[in-house]
Amino acid sequence: MTDRPDLSSLPSYKAPRRSLFSARKLALMASVVAGLGAATYGLSPTHNPADLFTTPAHAQVNNEVKKVQQPVGFADIVERVKPSVISVKVNIREKVAKDDGNNDDSPFQPGSPMERFFRRFGGPDGLPPGLRGGPRGGGVVTGQGSGFFISADGYAVTNNHVVDGADKVEVTTDDGKTYSAKVIGTDPRTDLALIKVEGGSNFQFAKLSDSKPRIGDWVLAVGNPFGLGGTVTAGIVSASGRDIGNGPYDDFIQIDAPVNKGNSGGPAFDVSGEVMGVNTAIYSPSGGSVGIAFSIPAQTVKSVVAQLKDKGSVSRGWIGVQIQPVTSDIADSLGMKKAEGALVAEPQANGPAAKAGIESGDVITAVNGEPVKDARELARTIGGLAPGNAVKLNVLHKGQDKTVNLTLGQLPNSLEAKADTNNDGDKGNSSRGTDVPKLGLTVAPANSVAAPARKAW
C-alpha cells in the first residue's frame, strides 16, 4: 500500500464560489474600460480616472466631444476690435430764409397742406422739427452715425453724408468718453470723410485690410444703429463689385449683416479683425435692415483717406470723355468678340482724349495694358490715377486696334453743362417778347440725338 501525505497540518481550503464572469470576460471588460478611459482622458488629462465610476463612460466621451465641436463664436474678435469703433454725433444749423411775408415759394405757407400736416403731426407752429428754433427757421438738426479710428493719434474714418455741413462734431468712444472732433476732409464721390479727434493721443485703432474679401466670408458690422451705441451684428459677404447708382466709382461689397440707420460710417470687420469695408448704404423698402447692405472696399478707403489726410481733398485723373457701356449689339456692329470695354460717346473739347485723337465711337479696351471690363471699370481705373500721369490706352478705332498715349488732366470738382453763349442762336417765342433764357439744356427731336452717355467724369 502506498503511503499518502499527511495534510492535516495544512490550513483548510475551500473551493471558490463560481464567479459571475469568467477570467476571459474579466480581461475583456478591463480592456474596454481602459480603452474608454484612455479615449476620455486623453482629451482632458486633468480629470480623475475615478470619475469613470460616477459618470457612465459613454457620457464622458459625449461631453468632451461636445466641448471640442462647439462653435467658436466671435467674442474674441469683438473684444479686440470694438474699442476702435466710435459713435459720431453732428449738429447742423439749418439756414432758412427769413419769413418776411413775401416768401411765396415756401411749402409751409399758412393754410398750406404741408403747414396743416406739420401742425397736426409735427408741432404747433406748423413747421417740421428741424426747421424750428426761431420765428421761421434757424433751428439745429442733430444726426448720428458711426466711425472708427485708423491711428492712435485720433484720425478716424466715417461717411461724408454723416458729417456733411456739420457745424459741430462729437465722438463717443466705446468706454463712454466724449471728444470734440474736426473734419479734415471729405470726398462726396465715394462718400468718405476723415475726421480728427481732439484731446487724446492713445486711441485703439483698426487696420484696413490688404486683401479682397471672398463671397461667403464672415463679416462683422460694428456701429451705432438708431443711436443705441456700440452694437455688433454678423453675416457673410453676399457679393462684390456692386453698382447702386451712387456714382461712377461704385464698387461696393454687399453684406447681409444687419445694418440700420446710424451704422453709416462704421466698419465691416473680417475674421482677422481687419476692416474689409466701410458701411455706407442699405437697400430697404421700409427703412430698416432687410439683410442687404453695402460697404466701401478697404482699398478705396486707403487711397481716399491718404489724400484727405495729406491735402484735405481728393484729386483724380481725367481724360475728358463721356462713356457708355458696350452692349452685345454694339459689339456685334463693331466686330468685337466680346461686349467689353467703354464706348466713347463724346470726347470733351480740349480734353486730354480729344487732343490725343480719340473720337466718338471709339472703344477703350485697356489702360496701361490692363483690360477694361466695362465703363465703370474705366472710370475707377482713371480716377485712381493721379493727374499728370502718362497713360497708355488701347483703343478700337474704326475697326482697327491702336495705342494712344496721353497725360491725365485733373477731374473738375463739378461737371456742369454750360449754356451756349452764341448770340446767333434762335430767339424764343415768348409772349413777353424776350429771349428764352440759356438754361444749359438743348431740346431736339429724339431721332436726331445720339445714344445717351453714361456719365461725364
The residues annotated as belonging to the active site are: 161, 191, 264
Element (H, E) at 325: strand 321-325
Q: Which long-range contacts (CB under 8 A, 24 or more apart) does 447-451 make?
A: 450/345, 450/346, 450/360, 451/324, 451/345
Q: Measuring CA to CA, which residue among 295, 260, 455 is closest to residue 375?
A: 455
The answer to whether 388 and 316 have CB atoms below 8 angstroms apart is no
CB-based burial of residue 272 (10 Å sphere; 0-12 exposed, 13-18 middle, 19+ buried)?
exposed
Locus of grid cell 463717443? 172
| DSSP secondary structure string for all residues of 42-110 | HH-TTS-GGGGGTS-HHHHHHHHHHHHHS---SHHHHHHHGGGEEEEEEEEE-------S--TT-TT-T
Question: Whole-angstrom Cα distance, residue 252 to residue 191?
Answer: 12
DSSP 8-state code for residue 428: P
Question: Whole-angstrom Cα distance, residue 258 to residue 284?
Answer: 11
| CB contact set of 276 (below 8 Å; sequence gap of 6+) | 209, 213, 217, 219, 237, 253, 268, 269, 270, 295, 297, 298
Burial 9-34 (b: 16+ CB within 10 A, else e): eeeeeeeeeeeeeeeeeeeeeeeeee
**In angstroms, how far is CA 150 from the centroid of its own chain?**
16
Cell numbers for 173, please give them: 468712444
**C-beta neighbour count of 402 within 10 angstroms:** 13
Burial 74-94 (b: 16+ CB within 10 A, else e): beebbeebbbbbbbbbbebee
Count Cα neighbours of 67 within 13 Å in the Cβ-side half-sphere.
Answer: 9
**In angstroms, how far is CA 93 from the centroid of its own chain?**
28
